[in-house]
Structure 1
Amino acid sequence: MTNFGATPEARDIAHHFHGYTNARRHQDVGPMIIEDGEGIYVRDNTGKRYIEGLAGLWSVGVGFKERRLIEAATRQMEKLPFYHNFGHKSHGPAIDLAEKLVSIAPVPMSKVFFTNSGSEANDTVLKMVWYRSNALGQPQRKKVIARTRGYHGVTIAAASLTGLPFNHRSFDLPLPGVLHTTCPHYWREGRDGETEEQFATRCAEDLEALIQAEGPDTIAAFWAEPVMGAGGVVVPPKGYFQKIQAVLDKHDILFVADEVICGFGRTGEMFGSTTCGIRPDVMVMSKQITSSYVPFSAIMMNDRFFDPIADESDRISTFGHGYTAGGHPLGAAVALENLAVIEENDLVGNARDVGAHFRARLETLAGRPLVGEVRGVGLIAALELVDEKAAKSVQTVGRLGGLMNAAMQRNGLISRNMGDTVAFCPPMIITREQADDMFEIVEKSLGEVEAEVGV
C-alpha cells in the first residue's frame, strides 16, 4: 500500500519504474522531481530553477506553459474530447492537421497517418513497407537499412532500426532483416587524410556494398534522421545525403526521413529534410509537433508509397492497422495551434539566429583540454569531451559526459549526455540573452570538470 506520508522521492522509489534509468541505482539516488515550468525554465520540488537545455526530450519547442496550447486543449476537450478514425470516421482537427502538414511538406506529399509517438510511427512505417512490398508482388523485398548510432525509437521494430547498443542488448534485437550502415560522423569516423567529401563518398560506397551483399531486390527502405539526435548530434558532411539518395534511387529503395527531433524548426528550417537536401518518400514526425504537450505523432507519405498500400487494402478489404488514439482530436488541435505559434512568431528563424549565436559561443571552448569537437546546426548543438584530444579518446566511456552533465545540473542547466557527448536543444523561444546565460553555465561547469579531473 502506498505510504502517502512518505516524501515524493520515497514514493517514487517505491512504485515508479523509469525509462532510460539504471533501476537499481535509482533505488539509491532517487528522482529529481520537476513541479513547474514556464518559458525555457523548469523548477524542481525544492524551488530551484533550471534552464531546460534539452527542451524536455528535444521537444518543447514553444516552451513551457504556452497559454495558446493550453487554451486549444481546453476548447477541444469541451467540444469533442475523443474520437477515432476507424471505419471511415473522422473529425475536424485531424482533417485540418493532415491538410496543414501536406501544405508545408518540403517535397510533394499526399497522405498523413496519425500515431501516438515517434516509436509507434517508425514501427508503423516498417509494417507499411512490408505491406507495400507484398502489394507490389515483391515478397522478398523486406529488408531495411538504418545507420549505426541512428535513433528511431524503442518499440521492437523501432529499436531494431535504432543503431545504439543499449537499445539492443538483453532485448534480443535487432530483428532479422534490419541492417545498419556507416554513421556519417566525419570527426569520429573519417580516416587520416580523408576529406569531408571523400568521407561522404565512402559512406555512400559502404551503403552500395551492403545493398549488393544482401541483394538489391531484397532491400525495401532506408531510414535516416537528417541530423542524428540521441546518437550524439551528428551533422552529416556536405554532400552526404545527395550521394546516399543517388544510391537509393539507383535501386528503387524508399527513403524514410525520421524528423522526430529535426522537424518543425529545430535545424533552422521547418524540416531537417530541407536543411540537408533530402527527398524522402516518407516523413516521421513527433515531439515538436505538439511541443510534447500531448503525445502525438504523424507519418506523411507520397503517392509512390501510398498507392500500392491503398490498392492492397482494397484487394483484401481493409488496412488492418490503427490505434485507438491515433489522430486523437486533442493532440491534433494542440498540434495545429503549436504550428501556428511557431509560424506566427517565426520560431524557425529564431532557432536559426539564436542557434548560430550559441554555437559561436560554444566554439570559443574548442581549445579547452577536454573539448574534442563542437558541432551542431540550427538550435541543436553538442560538445564532445575527450581525455586525449589528438587520439579523440576517453579513458572510460561516459565518465566525462556524466561529470559535465552533473556539474551543469548543479549550476542550473538541465541537459543530457550521450556517453561523452553533451547535447543542447533548448526551447525554440530562447533569446540571445538566455542563450548567453546557458553558455555561462556550460563554461563554468566545464571549468569545474577540468579541475575535478586535473587538467
Structure 2
Amino acid sequence: MNTSTLIAPPAIVRRAEQHDTRAIQAQDSAHFIHPFTDHGDLATRGARVMTRAENIYVWDSEGHRILDAMSGLWCVNAGYGRKELADAAYQQLMTLPYYNSFFQTTNVPAVQLASKLASLAPVVGGRRFEHVFFSSSGSESNDTNVRLVRRYWDLLGQPQRKVIISRHNAYHGSTMAGASLGGMSGMHAQGDLPIPDIVHIEQPYHFENAQPGESAADFGRRAAGWLEAKILEVGPERVAAFIAEPVQGAGGVIIPPETYWPEIQRIVDQYGILLISDEVICAFGRLGHWFAYEKFGYRPDLVTFAKGVTSGYVPLGGVMVGDRVAQVLIEQGGEFNHGYTYSGHPVACAVALANLELMEREDLPGKVKNDTGPYLAQRFAELNEHPLVGVAETCGLVAGLVLVKDKATGETFDPDLGVGMKCRAHCFKNGLIMRAVGDRMIIAPPLVITRAQIDELMGLIRQCLDATLVQLRAEGLHS
C-alpha cells in the first residue's frame, strides 16, 4: 500500500478522538431519521459514531478500530483515505462546483466521464454502450430505467409493453419505482408497493429453492425458466423488460449457478424484451471485471451503476444505455422529459474520473480476478467446516455464508430467533463489520484488501462464529 496516498492529518485524528459519544448519540436520536432503522430501538441503544477511516479500517468515537468488510455500503472499492480523490473534488469545487445539464448545457468532467465509461464497458455479443445517463444514486438510476424502457416501447409503437419483471428478494433501490422493482417484502409492506405493472419471479438461490438432489446446473436452468413462465403468464406482448442483479447483494449475496444467465439471455432474446443489469454493487471490479455482465457473458440493454464509480466518496449514479435503446431514443424520441438537478454533477464526475484512473493504475479489477478473489474463495471455503455454517460461497470480493441449526440436515433456525443479528453483534464486539441478512452473513471488502488482510478478516470471522456458537449453545439453540 502506498501510504503517501492516504489522508490522515493529525488534526483530524485529534478531533475524532475528542468527540463526546453520548452527546452525539443524543443529538442523533433527537434529529436524524436514519434509513432502514427502528428508531425507537436505536434511541435505547445509541448509534455507533464513526469518526475516521483509512485503507480498509474505520474508527468509532470510542477509539475502536474496525475492519470494514462491507466497504461502507458495498461502495468504498478503492479504500478509505485516497488523497487523489479528495484532491479531484477540491480542484473541481474551486473551478466549477456546480452547473446543470439542462438547457443544452454540459460540463467537462461529465463529458469526460461519459467517454471513459463507454471505453470501459466491454462489448459482448456485439452489444455496445456508447451513451450514459447520469443520476445521483442507484435508486434514481432504476427510476430512470423505468422511464427509458417505457419510452423506448412507446416510440416503437408498442405502448402496451409496460410490464417489468424482477425477482423476489432483489434490491433495486428505495424510491417508489426502485422499491417496486426490488422484491423485498418488508419494503412492499409499506407504501402500497409495488406500483402497477411490476411483477416478480423467484430468486436463483440453490440452497433455499433447489429440489432434493437437484444439481446446481439443473437448478440454474429451472430457475431461469421461471422468467419464461412469467412472460407467458403476463403475455409476451405486454412485457417490456427483465431487471436483475448479476449477483444479488442486499438479498444476501445470492450467486446464481453458471447455467442461469445463459438461459436468461436465451429467453429475453426469444421474446424480444429488454434486459437490465443492475450493477450498482457488482460493477467496477467487485467481481473481477469492470462490469459484471462480462463475467457472466450476457448482453444487457441497460446497466445501472452507482456506488463504486466514485468509491462512495461523492454520490453519483447512472445508466449505461446500450445502442439498441439509445438509437431509438436519439433518432426517434425528440425531447426526453426526464432528468435530475444533479445529473452530471461536475464534482461527482471529477471524483469518478480520478477513481477510475486510480483503479486502472492499480489494476484493482485484475487483482480481484487473479489474486485476492481466488484467495478469498480458498479461505472462505474453509468455513464450510464450522458447525454453524451450512454453506459458504464467494464470487470475486463478495461472499456469504448461511448459519444453520443442524449442519447434517441443513435445517435452519427459526427466523424469529434473530441468529444472524446475534452473530452481527459479536462481529462488532470483535472489531469486524459483517452484515446479517436474516441468518445469512455477508461481506464485500474494499478491493484494496491484501492477502494478509484477508487472513486477518478470516480470523475475525471464525472468532465471531465461535462466539455465536457458544452463545447459542448456552441458550439451548444449538447442540
> Per the shorter chain, which TM-score range?
over 0.9
Aligned residue runs from structure 1 range 167-316, under 5 A: 167-314=187-334
CA-CA distance at 1:44 after TM superposition: 0.4
CA-CA distance at 1:186 after TM superposition: 1.4
Aligned partner of 1:426 in structure 2 is 445
Q: TM-score, normalised by structure 2?
A: 0.91
Aligned partner of 1:365 in structure 2 is 383
Alignment partner of 1:33 is 2:53: no
SS in 2 for 1:222: strand
Aligned partner of 1:84 in structure 2 is 100
SS in 2 for 1:298: strand
Alignment partner of 1:450 is 2:466: no
Unpaired runs of 5+ residues, structure 2, are 1-19, 474-478
* Alignment partners' CA distance in 1, 2:248 and 2:283: 12
Alignment partner of 1:118 is 2:138: yes
Aligned partner of 1:338 in structure 2 is 355
Alignment partner of 1:440 is 2:468: no
Aligned residue identity for 2:394: G
Aligned partner of 1:62 in structure 2 is 78
Aligned residue identity for 2:62: T
* Alignment partners' CA distance in 2, 1:166 and 1:312: 40
Alignment partner of 1:150 is 2:170: yes
Contact 1:398 1:419 in 2 (8 A): no
Contact 1:39 1:63 in 2 (8 A): yes
CA-CA distance at 1:197 after TM superposition: 2.0
Aligned partner of 2:423 in structure 1 is 404
Contact 1:61 1:288 in 2 (8 A): yes
* Alignment partners' CA distance in 2, 1:150 and 1:170: 16
SS in 1 for 2:249: coil
Aligned residue identity for 1:54: M
SS in 1 for 2:405: coil
Contact 1:397 1:419 in 2 (8 A): no
Aligned partner of 1:354 in structure 2 is 372
Mean alpha-carbon deviation: is it higher for 104-113 or for 219-228?
A: 104-113
Contact 1:234 1:375 in 2 (8 A): no
CA RMSD in angstroms, aligned pairs only: 1.4
* Alignment partners' CA distance in 1, 2:327 and 2:364: 35
Contact 2:253 2:400 in 1 (8 A): yes
Over 4 Å off, 4+ runs: none
Q: How many residues align?
A: 449
CA-CA distance at 1:207 after TM superposition: 1.2
Aligned partner of 2:6 in structure 1 is none
* Alignment partners' CA distance in 1, 2:418 and 2:21: 37
Mean alpha-carbon deviation: is it higher for 375-384 or for 286-295?
A: 375-384
Contact 1:266 1:428 in 2 (8 A): yes
CA-CA distance at 1:45 after TM superposition: 0.6
Contact 2:21 2:61 in 1 (8 A): no
Q: TM-score, normalised by structure 1?
A: 0.96
CA-CA distance at 1:64 after TM superposition: 0.8
* Alignment partners' CA distance in 1, 2:197 and 2:385: 43
* Alignment partners' CA distance in 1, 2:185 and 2:145: 22
Tell me the alpha carbon deviations over residues 99-131 of structure 1, each in whole angstroms, 9 at most, x when there is no partner: 111111122112100000000000111011111
CA-CA distance at 1:376 after TM superposition: 1.5
Contact 2:415 2:438 in 1 (8 A): no
Contact 2:169 2:184 in 1 (8 A): yes
SS in 2 for 1:300: strand
Aligned residue identity for 1:386: V
* Alignment partners' CA distance in 2, 1:341 and 1:329: 18
Aligned partner of 1:374 in structure 2 is 392
SS in 2 for 1:192: coil
Tell me the alpha carbon deviations over residues 356-386 of structure 1, each in whole angstroms, 9 at most, x when there is no partner: 2123222112122210110111111111111
CA-CA distance at 1:403 after TM superposition: 1.2
Mean alpha-carbon deviation: is it higher for 284-293 or for 99-108?
A: 99-108
Aligned residue identity for 1:401: G
* Alignment partners' CA distance in 2, 1:431 and 1:181: 38
Contact 1:263 1:271 in 2 (8 A): yes
Return the match for 1:161 from 163, 174, 181.
Answer: 181
* Alignment partners' CA distance in 2, 1:288 and 1:391: 35
Aligned residue identity for 1:80: L
Mean alpha-carbon deviation: is it higher for 360-369 or for 320-329?
A: 360-369
CA-CA distance at 1:311 after TM superposition: 4.1
* Alignment partners' CA distance in 1, 2:279 and 2:130: 17
Alignment partner of 1:52 is 2:68: yes
* Alignment partners' CA distance in 1, 2:220 and 2:399: 21
* Alignment partners' CA distance in 2, 1:268 and 1:84: 34
Aligned partner of 1:393 in structure 2 is 412
- Overall identity of the aligned pairs, in %: 39
Contact 2:163 2:238 in 1 (8 A): yes
